[in-house]
Structure formats: C-alpha cells, structure tokens
Structure 1
C-alpha cells in the first residue's frame, strides 16, 4: 500500500531531523535547528499525502496513527542501532509487543 511506503520514507526523514544531529555535538544549536526544519519539510511532504491516501482508501484516523507509531518505532530502532550504535535490548522488544497489541485493538474485528 502506498500509505505505508510513504510513512516509512517520512519517518526516515523525521528520525534524521530529530536525532541525526546527536552525531554532531559540536554543531551549533541554531544550525541544527535550521537543518532539522529543512529535513522535516521533506517529512511533511511525504506524511501528509500518506495519511490522505490511507484515509481515502478506508483507513480510519486511529488506524493511520497506530501505523505511524509502529513505523516510527521500527525506523527509530534501526537508526538507534545503525547510527547511534545503541543496542536493541529487551525494552525495544517489549515496546514492539505493546505496539502489536495496539495494532490488534485498532484492526482486529473491524469490517
């Protein structure tokens, strides 16, 4: 579904905008903020159409939001491991399990 693909791409950009600067602690805060806003513009340009397409395809706002949160957690976990060199431990696994439960509440039994 194009919605999920666009949400994945938008989350990659937003994760870089929010957390990428952590790799550059010497960078000035004003520069980091300006760069992050530029990256976030790309994120918005992907997220807004993703949500519109998903809604028009029959997903509810709540379903779109929970998809977004799951994608966010997956993208951030990959970013944390690959870029920030943080280990993926049991807390990530627990968070994934909780998110799976949230997805079930939003989708199971819906016609």
Structure 2
C-alpha cells in the first residue's frame, strides 16, 4: 500500500491527479486482492484486534524502509521508538490470557 499511496508523489507529480489516482487505485486493487483472502484466513486463528495490530506492524515495517529508500526521507530516531511501541502493542495483543 505504501507504493500505491505515496509513489505518485514522486513519480506522477507532473500528471493530472486523476491519472495518479487511477494508477494508484490499480496498484491498491492488486494489493487488496491479496489482503482480503489473507484476512479471511487469518480470522480463522486470530481476533479482529490481533489482525488489526498485525496489519499496522506490517504496514509500518514496510513503510519505514520504503520512505527511507524510495522517498529519500531522513532516518530518525523516532522510527526506532515507534517500532518499539509497535512491538509492545503486538506483545500485549498476542500474549496468552
């Protein structure tokens, strides 16, 4: 999703927004075609809350390297702290009762 949502800012900035939206929606559609079955399968063994936390951890785990490598965003110490907080969220949502 990071590519669908943000790559147009770098690659299609000189194109009309409608073109950027259509290309981004096409990329997002492909990703949703993978995500929906994965969520259905995941829900057989996880709760809604666990699926959501896992989705956020994966999203940010992909977005941070993407933003540094592709968008050339500077690496910040705040990324480490955010990652540690996500690890804490994942721990608490998946720990045994």
Could you state the TM-score of these two structures normalised by the residue count of structure 2? 0.92
Establish whether residue 36 from structure 1 lines up as the match of residue 24 from structure 2. Answer: yes
Q: For 1:88 and 1:46, locate their aligned partners in 2 and report how far apart those are by CA, in whole Å.
A: 30
Give the equivalent residue in structure 2 for 1:20: 7
Q: For 2:55 and 2:75, locate their aligned partners in 1 and report how far apart those are by CA, in whole Å.
A: 20
1:84-103 deviation per Cα after TM superposition (whole angstroms, max 9, x unaligned)? 01122111111101111111
Q: For 2:84 and 2:40, locate their aligned partners in 1 and report how far apart those are by CA, in whole Å.
A: 28
Number of corresponding residues? 96
1:36-79 deviation per Cα after TM superposition (whole angstroms, max 9, x unaligned)? 111111111011011111112x1111111111000000110111
Q: For 1:27 and 1:78, locate their aligned partners in 2 and report how far apart those are by CA, in whole Å.
A: 26
- Partner of 1:87, secondary structure, is coil
List aligned pairs for 1:60-79, cutoff 5 A.
60-79=47-66
Structure 1: segments with no counterpart, 5+ residues: 1-13
* Shift in Å, 1:22: 1.3
Structure 1 consecutive aligned stretches of length 4 or more whose deviation exceeds 2 Å: none
